[in-house]
Amino acid sequence: MTSLDLVKMVTGNFLGVVVLLEMIVSGSRFGANGMSMNYYMMSCPFAEPIVKNTVIRALQADPTLAAALLRMHFHDCFIEGCDGSVLVDSTKDNTAEKDSPANLSLRGYEVIDDAKEELEEQCPGVVSCADILAMAARDAVFWAGGPVYDIPKGRKDGRRSKIEDTINLPAPFFNASQLIKMFGQHGFSVQEVVALSGAHTLGVARCSSFKSRLSAADPNLEADFANTLSKTCSAGDNAEQPFDSTRNSFDNFYFNALQRKSGVLGSDQTLYATPRTRGIVNGYAMNQAMFFFDFQQAMLKMSTLDVKEGSKGEVRESCRKIN
């Protein structure tokens, strides 16, 4: 063996080791944006259990908060990406997202505050509000009986929260094409639109969100259920109508309700009324495991929408206030 061969072998091995190390490191990463499943392993090893315990305590006291946390995460991710922008309070110079009509019925902010407070005691300035909200929504789904899934962490908190941005949230009167278009702009497939809408297996809508459906006869609204909705609305705009018969359980009853033309929102029932999405509704109504699988995949995707990394964001001291 010549000395040149030896040099080649050593450098070849060295490069091999470097490539191998890089593969191992990048294998634990999620995409190219620096997020990872074990992002807080060194900096705040108890971040996940702290959030989980806070969520469980809150849900034991009020099970309806599972729906609230899930919805809050969705409204966070669709506006400015999953960056905690929905959590920011308005100030005298800025009206924040949370004061938009589309967000006025969001609840559960105090659960995020509680988790943040404990995390700041354990590891100050480390865990972002956006990550806390994403973990809380994930834990809430599981607590309510839904699928268990892991999400990457490493979202930074945004420095912008403006009421006008919430125009990009879907409206309850949207038809299937409008839903598909809006979700498509965030990279979701038709199947994912239906799976994510299955989040309406949890929670309620207020009369103001569906009363426009009651003014004229609607062939996509079952007559007895129309009476139920009217009765709910007789108690006023804020009266609540559960999306399905089990408002605190994550199951596939929402899809069964759509098959009976007993969806609460126009944007729910349109998924059954439209041939393009009806087959997917029928599939999820028949097979809960399939719904759970697709939901968890779609949630993973939603939870990483337009994530801010590095200096594009910050770790807020208080989730309600930009640093």
Catalytic residues: 75
Q: Which is nearer to ligand HEM, 40 or 210 (CB)?
A: 210
Q: 164 exposed, middle or buried (CB, 10 Å; 0-12, 13-18, 19+)? A: exposed
Shortest distance, position 266 Cβ to ligand HEM, whole Å: 8
Q: Which two tokens stand for residue 309?
A: 């990394």
Shortest distance, position 79 Cβ to ligand HEM, whole Å: 13
Contact 201, 254 (CB under 8 A): yes
Q: Which is nearer to ligand HEM, 147 or 170 (CB)?
A: 170
- Asked whether position 63 contacts ligand HEM by CB under 6 A, the answer is no
Query: How many whole angstroms separate alpha carbon 256 and alpha carbon 300?
Result: 25
> Quick one: which segment of 120-128, 143-151, 172-180, 227-235 binds ligand HEM (CB under 6 A)?
172-180
- How many Cβ atoms from other residues are within 10 Å of residue 305's Cβ? 19
Shortest distance, position 74 Cβ to ligand HEM, whole Å: 4
Which x/- pattern over 77-106 shows residues binding ligand HEM (rule: CB under 6 A)? ----------------------------x-
Which x/- pattern over 148-167 shows residues binding ligand HEM (rule: CB under 6 A)? --------------------
**Angle at Cα 213 formed by Cα 207 and Cα 219, nearest 5°?**
140
Report whether 166 belongs to an annotated binding site.
Answer: no
Q: Which of 70, 144, 151, 281 binds ligand HEM (CB under 6 A)?
A: 70
Q: Give residue 163's Cα distance to chain centre.
A: 19
- How many Cβ atoms from other residues are within 10 Å of residue 77's Cβ? 27
Q: Which of 50, 199, 221, 257 binds ligand HEM (CB under 6 A)?
A: 199
Report whether 251 belongs to an annotated binding site.
Answer: yes
- Asked whether position 197 contacts ligand HEM by CB under 6 A, the answer is yes
Shortest distance, position 181 Cβ to ligand HEM, whole Å: 12
Contact 316, 119 (CB under 8 A): no
Range 258-287, binding ligand HEM (CB under 6 A):
265, 267
Shortest distance, position 271 Cβ to ligand HEM, whole Å: 8
> Quick one: which segment of 65-73, 85-93, 229-237, 276-284 binds ligand HEM (CB under 6 A)?
65-73
Which x/- pattern over 12-41 shows residues binding ligand HEM (rule: CB under 6 A)? ------------------------------
| Distant-in-sequence, close-in-space partners of 81: CB < 8 Å, separation ≥ 6 | 158, 305, 306, 307, 308
- Asked whether position 200 contacts ligand HEM by CB under 6 A, the answer is yes
Range 230-259, binding ligand HEM (CB under 6 A):
none
Which residue numbers belong to the known binding site for substrate? 170
Annotated binding site for heme b: 200
